[in-house]
Every structure is written in structure tokens, then in C-alpha cells.
A = this chain, B = another copy of it.
Amino acid sequence: MAERIQDASTTIGMVLYPGVTLLDVAGRYEVFARLPGVHVALLAAALDPIHTEQGMIIVPDTRFNDTAFDVLFVPGGPGQMDVIEDQHFLGYIRRYGEVAKWVTSVCTGSLLLAAAGLLRRRCATTHWLSMDLLECLGVKTVPERVVIDGNRITAAGVSAGIDLALVVVARLISEDVAKEIQLLIEYDPKPLFRSGSVRTADKPTIKRVTSQRRALQERRRAQIERIAVRLTDNEGCGD
């Protein structure tokens, strides 16, 4: 491991935590880990196995430390609620983000970046169900799949991590390498329905999903409002 880090010309810190969404992590990981000369560290507060959102267990390989990574990546998932008020966790996110060349997230990972003060007065995106919560933290939201503002690159929900990863590779390494990886993972998507976005899904589907997620989103909102009050330059958020 130490040897790989030493050899690697680019280092990527992927932050893991219990309740993270597996596909948020895997989409990014599958692209980044294939890069020549790149070391991906699977960062966590402890090295214990982590139960992802739906239960599958993954194992981090690097405890939070003082390393400076070229790219910080923060995935989302319901577990984000358990770490967003953890000052030890947020402190590391903030320190990694302050020195990284690229600060990136997918899904509700951007709520964590925002809570760490890394998206202040920036444009960003998140999972469609949490766009209002990101605004609440003083972020200007943009309803795009991948949003770039300076060295901050954020992506929409879950599967958007693959698109984000290719954007980052094209900027970090080269467009040629991004194309190679896209071909290698055969990313030529053919979704069964036009139901992947609130802009294309039919209304009954949006209504059902919103209803299924209502309790979770209400818990998120109560917490985000509390955090927003603590963040400087933020005057809270209305409905």
C-alpha cells in the first residue's frame, strides 16, 4: 500500500461511513481505481467494516489522517445524517477539502461538503429530493447532472457518480483516458424508462417516491435547519 502511494502521481481520498450508498461509491471507484498512476484511498474514521445503506459490507483501507489528497470525494446515503454533526468527521472533510485540487461529491455527499463549509457561495447539486436542503446550507443549487464551480464538482443522485467520475478523469488526467475507461466499463446507458429525473419521470412516479421518502426527508430537513443556523453567513431557510 505504502509503495503504491509512493509510486502514484495522483492520490484520491474516497470518504466512507456507515449507511453510505454502495453505488455512490462503486461508480466512482470503478472509474478511478482503473487509472494508471493513481492511488485511491478508502478513507474512514476507523478501519472497521462498514454496512452500506442496503446492508452490503465494504471495508475501508485508510484511517483519517493528515495526508493531502489531490482529489477529495464524498459520497451520499442516509448515513450522511449520522456524520453531518460529527465535528471530528467534518473537521477531516474540511481539511482534506481545503488542500485538494478537486473537491467532489455525489448525491447527499454535497450536504456533507456544505456542512464542512466547502460549498459556501458555490453552485452545486445533489439528489433531487435534497436540493432544497442544500440551498438551506447557503449553496446555490443547479439542476444539472454534474455541476462544476471552480474546483468543486458535484453530481446528482447515486448513479450520477459515474458521469462525475468521467468528468473528473477528463480534467485530471486526459480526455483520452476518460474515453478508454468509459469503453472499458461499457458505459453506453440504455435506461428502460425515461424515469431517471424529476424532469422526465411521470407525475405518479414522482409522487410515490416523494411519499415513500417523506419521513426520511423530514428528518433530514430538521437536522439541516439546525446546522444552517450554526453556519456563518447563513440566515436559515424557509419552506
Q: Is the CB of B190 within 8 A of A202?
A: no
- B182/A193 in contact, CB under 8 A: yes
Known A-B contacts A34-B54, A57-B58; the reply to A185 vs B209 at CB < 8 A is no
Assess whether A159 is in contact with B186, with CB atoms less than 8 Å apart.
yes
Q: Does A86 contact B (CB under 8 A)?
A: no
Q: Which segment, of A116-124, A133-141, A160-168, faces chain B?
A: A160-168
B-side contacts of A57, CB under 8 Å = 58-59, 61
CA distance A25 to B195 in the complex (A): 22
CB distance from A158 to the nearest CB of B (A): 4
Which of B178, B180, B192 sits near A182, CB closer than 8 Å? B192
Q: Which bracket fits the contact residues of A?
A: 35 or more
| A128 interfacial by beta-carbon distance below 8 Å | yes
Point out the residues of chain B lying under 8 angstroms from A40, CB to CB.
54
- Assess A186 versus B127: contact at CB under 8 Å? Given A23-B27, A180-B205: yes
A229 within 8 A of B: no
Chain B contacts for A145, CB-based, 8 A: 188-190
User: CB-defined interface of A166-192 with B at 8 Å, one 1/0 digit per residue?
Assistant: 110010000110111011111111111
A170 touches B186 (CB 8 A): no
Indicate if the CB atoms of B186 and A156 lie closer than 8 Å.
yes
Determine whether the beta carbon of A191 is less than 8 Å from that of B179.
Answer: no
Known contacts A54-B33, A206-B183; is-contact A188 B191 (Cβ 8 Å): yes
Q: Is A30 within 8 A of B182, CB to CB?
A: no
- The answer to whether B179 and A205 touch across the interface, beta carbons within 8 angstroms, is yes
Asked if A157 contacts B185 (CB within 8 A), the reply is yes
Q: Which of A44-58 contact B (CB under 8 A)?
A: 49, 54-58
- When distances are taken between beta carbons in the complex, the residues of chain B under 8 Å from A65 are none
- Chain B: minimal CB distance from A40 (Å): 8
**Residues from chain B with Cβ under 8 Å of A212 in the complex:** 180
Interface residues in chain A, defined as those with a beta carbon under 8 Å from any beta carbon in chain B: 21-23, 25-27, 29-30, 33-34, 40, 42, 49, 54-59, 61, 107, 127-128, 145-146, 156-160, 162-163, 166-167, 170, 175-176, 178-180, 182-193, 195-202, 204-206, 208-209, 212-213
A-B contact pairs, 9 of them (CB 8 A): A127-B186, A159-B185, A159-B186, A162-B189, A163-B191, A180-B195, A183-B197, A183-B198, A186-B196
